[in-house]
Amino acid sequence: MDDIPLSLLLGTLLFLIITSGFFSGSETSLMSINRYRLRHLADKNRRGAKRALRLLAHPERLIGVILLGNNFVNILAGAIASMIGLYYYGEKGVLIATMVLTIVILIFSEVTPKTLAALNPERFALPASFILEPLLKLLYPFVWIVNKAARGIFRILGLSAEQVSQYDLSTEELRLVVNEAGALIPQRHQQMLLNLLDLEKVTVEDIMVPRNEIIGIDIEDDWEKISKNIRESQHTKLPIYEGDIDKIIGFLHLRKVIQLFNDKEKANQETLRKIVREAYFVPKGTPLNTQLLNFQREKRRIGLIVDEYGDILGLITLEDLLEEIVGEFTTDPAAKHSDIHLQEDGSYLIDGSATIREINRILNWELPSNGPKTINGMIIEYLEHIPDPGTSLLIADYPIEIVQTTKNTVKTVRIDANWKEKLSQSDE
């Protein structure tokens, strides 16, 4: 003891305290760093990021070398502090040195570096990797022994030592990441990403054009009527059928009809059949994300939705599907949909065949969409009968007035989502 200069002991103790802080901060920073950000930096050839990724590929080895180094320097620091305590205060100095060193290590080697590392993991982890990687190679035999002992304890406790944490994100976790991106992602792009994640929850029936609204060409009609319907069509592709939509022949692209109309001698039903492309069928219940890939694989833009018996339920287009991701292609979405009509008093006249999902998206409402797909279906399920005109009901806090019905359907309803505001204004 007398042969060792006191200044050397104090200097060594200070170095050990700093080293302990380095190990503590390294552990926190490497365990809390954003793995995806780290991979991005590694792809940009940041050497520190590549080293950190290599270390994190085997977390048990990384933790082993950090704890081995940290415990070694803490124990050595305790021994040196005891020697300094003996030098100044005799036997009582050991206790005094232990208490002081505990406080110093707690503040300067644990709390402070770990807090800084948690707040700035990238700044701490990348430089630390340049020291930890060669240190791991140097101390690997000791780390291997420690890990083997730990694995033995795992087996005794019935735990699997091979269970390594995975950092794959679930859909809901990815949704949370997008929502918390803030200014990093424009709000419009955030909404598109969220809509894309929602595609697997939505099926083709939710956005289809119902069977009764499908506009097509009956090839059994006379040619004058067929040609008139084609000329007045607002769609570029039309389903062609024989008498009934269930007897579908295929789809006609109006671009191919131009040449046919130019040659009046060949313009007839039989020639029309030859330029019709066979129909593409989509099973009901198909998620939108699957159908988007199916459209791409089949090189199609339109399809007919069929049930288990082969009956046609409706029609779906690629445009309708893309609108679920990017939103409406018009500046006034409500104007595009003839099923929804804004009234002067702020209420809406809505066709009973309008889909609930479409109404919710356009008007930003929250009508229940986990049951029937249309307003007509929702009302009939709620009342369990066909209501008379003038009937009023409240569903999900939305007042609905039946305006017009037929023998088997609700044809038109009036919904006023601002009824509470109007009621409060009238009370005032």
Residue pair 343/422 in contact by the 8 Å Cβ criterion: no
- Each residue's pLDDT tens digit, 258-300: 777 766 667 778 888 888 899 999 999 999 999 999 999 999 9
What stretches of 234-368 adopt beta strand conformation (E)? 237-242, 244-253, 277-278, 281-283, 302-306, 312-317, 340-342, 348-351
Does 128 share its domain with 224?
no
Looking at the DSSP bridge assignments, the partners of residue 401 are 392, 414
- Each residue's pLDDT tens digit, 228-252: 888 888 888 899 999 888 899 999 9
Helix 318-326 × helix 288-298 angle, to 10°: 130
Does 138 share its domain with 29?
yes
Range of the domain at 101: 6-157
- Residue 417: the pLDDT is 77
Does 22 share its domain with 134?
yes
Q: Of 92, 124, 157, which marks where a domain is finished?
A: 157
Does 317 share its domain with 414?
no
- Stretches where the chain sits below pLDDT 70 are 1-3, 159-169, 182-183, 262-265, 328-338, 419-428
Does 286 share its domain with 373?
no
- Residue 294: the pLDDT is 94
Does 238 share its domain with 285?
yes
Q: From CA 377, how far away is CA 356, in angstroms rounded?
A: 10
- Residue 57: the pLDDT is 83
Residue pair 85/94 in contact by the 8 Å Cβ criterion: yes
CA of 364: how far to CAs of 36, 143, 195, 359, 419, in Å?
34, 59, 14, 8, 16
Annotate 140-208 with DSSP letters as a single string: HHHHHHHHHHHHHHHHHHT--TT-----PPPHHHHHHHHHTTGGGS-HHHHHHHHHHHHGGG-BGGGTP
237 in any annotated domain: yes
Does 314 share its domain with 373?
no
Number of domain units in the chain? 3
- Residue 298: the pLDDT is 92
117 in any annotated domain: yes
Give the pair of three-digit tokens for residue 163.
């269970």
- Residue 332: the pLDDT is 45
- Residue 420: the pLDDT is 60
Residue 358 buriedness (CB in 10 A; 0-12 / 13-18 / 19+): buried
